[in-house]
């Protein structure tokens, strides 16, 4: 149960950070550092993949992870066109 709670909390945090990153992409160059935020989608993708490697990840967490990974795909495509 403790591992499940950890995975859910971590995914919630990652979702918030990805949403923040998404809201900033139109305004700020993603290569700029600021306030300790990680602005590279591949970092967040790695965090999600690490969570998904945890044994017995609940189905709803997997589905939510897939949605966040799809958003990261979208952000990476946008970053590529911005450069």
Spell out the per-residue pLDDT of the chain, length 83, in tens. Answer: 678 899 999 999 999 999 998 887 655 554 545 555 678 899 999 999 999 998 889 999 999 999 999 999 999 888 777 65
Taking the C-alpha atoms of residue 31 and residue 39, their distance in angstroms, rounded to an integer, is 7
Question: How many residues belong to the chain?
Answer: 83
Domain that holds residue 11: 2-82
- Per the structure, the count of domains in the chain is 1
Question: How many angstroms from the chain centroid is the CA of residue 53?
Answer: 15
Cα distance between the two ends of the chain: 43
């Amino acid at each position: 149960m403790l591992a499940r709670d950890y995975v859910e909390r971590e995914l919630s945090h990652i979702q918030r950070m990805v949403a923040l990153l998404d809201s900033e992409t139109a305004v700020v160059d993603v290569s700029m550092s600021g306030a300790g935020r990680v602005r590279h989608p591949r970092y967040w993708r790695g965090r999600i993949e690490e969570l998904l490697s945890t044994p017995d990840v609940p189905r709803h967490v997997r589905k939510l992870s897939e949605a966040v990974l799809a958003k990261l795909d979208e952000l990476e495509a946008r970053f590529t066109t911005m450069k």
